[in-house]
Homo-oligomer: A and B are copies of this chain.
């Protein structure tokens, strides 16, 4: 296990108090090279595997929302009965396999920049997200 001081600094520097719940969730989400996609339910399961101290569901929601707001997580736009989050906050897009109900990252180098030649007056672009739905060939 890595030193948690990194997470403590990260949390503190973004104005979030480094509580033990938040540090634990940081460990689970960010203590790995690999990024991944998850639902709240997935995360709750990971937490209960990783620790004996239970974290309340409300805290999991609060924390995920706080992390999203701070830019440590991205929410993936997809119609589903649950929200999907992504620990990969760099710019990239997704395949969604409609048969397996599975999300797969698309390396950003594999998608030509999307050019949108129109604007909404008084609005600025926040993000451009591409979802490629695939199905069994």
| A79-B64 Cα distance, complex, nearest whole Å | 15
Interchain nearest-CB distance for A27 vs B (Å): 26
Q: For A110, what are the chain B residues with a Cβ–Cβ distance below 8 Å?
A: 116-118
| A132-B134 Cα distance, complex, nearest whole Å | 21
Does A123 belong to the interface (CB within 8 Å)? yes
Question: Do A137 and B122 touch across chains, with their CB atoms under 8 A apart?
Answer: yes
Question: Do B106 and A111 touch across chains, with their CB atoms under 8 A apart?
Answer: no
Does A77 belong to the interface (CB within 8 Å)? yes
Does A130 belong to the interface (CB within 8 Å)? yes
**A119-137: which residues lie under 8 A (CB-CB) from chain B?**
120, 122-137
Question: Do B79 and A83 touch across chains, with their CB atoms under 8 A apart?
Answer: yes
- Given known contacts A78-B77, A79-B83, A83-B79, A117 and B112 CB-to-CB distance under 8 angstroms: yes
Q: For A122, what are the chain B residues with a Cβ–Cβ distance below 8 Å?
A: 136-137
Does A107 belong to the interface (CB within 8 Å)? yes
Interface residues of A, Cβ cutoff 8 Å to B: 75-79, 83, 93, 95, 97-98, 104, 106-107, 110-112, 114-118, 120, 122-137
